[in-house]
Amino acid sequence: MATRRHTNTAAMASAEVGAGNPAFELPRQQLTLLTESACAMFQGFEAMRRIQEKAAHEALAHYTNAAKRLKEANDPAQLLEIQADLMRFDLDGATRYWRQIGAVVVDMQQDMVGRLGHAVETDKLARVAAPNDDLQALTNSWMAFLNGNQRSLTS
């Protein structure tokens, strides 16, 4: 009976695909870039949520005050005044809200670009680009070979 040798393939694979391996560098940096982008995006979402919460709180306070004033209003002119006040508040609030949201979006984009700039390790990517150039040349030669064989088969 033959004796089987148990080898730890996971340990062998991790040794082959280590931090010094250029083939490992590109996927690692891609994952790093995506994770950094997600962090910037989530921070932006938190800031947007705070703006929404503040706008809702201000609207609640203003509309509660308007409801009290409407209950006490006796004159049609008072009703028009309250309605105009609500319209003014809504327009001002919407303008302020969207301006703040736009500022957060711009900040979020700047944060993402800044994080991406710091996350890219260009010296390591240069080592990855060289094998990829060789791979592209190999792929081109194989495609030329295959295309040539395809033409000879159809003749």
Per residue of the chain (155 residues), give pLDDT as tens: 555 555 555 555 554 555 567 777 888 888 888 898 899 999 999 999 999 999 999 999 999 999 999 999 999 999 999 999 999 999 999 999 999 999 999 999 999 888 877 766 555 555 545 555 656 665 666 666 666 655 555 55
Whether the model pTM is above 0.75: no
Buried b / exposed e along 64-86 (16+ C-beta atoms within 10 A): eeeeeeeeeeeeeeeeeebeeeb
What was the pLDDT predicted at 114? 85
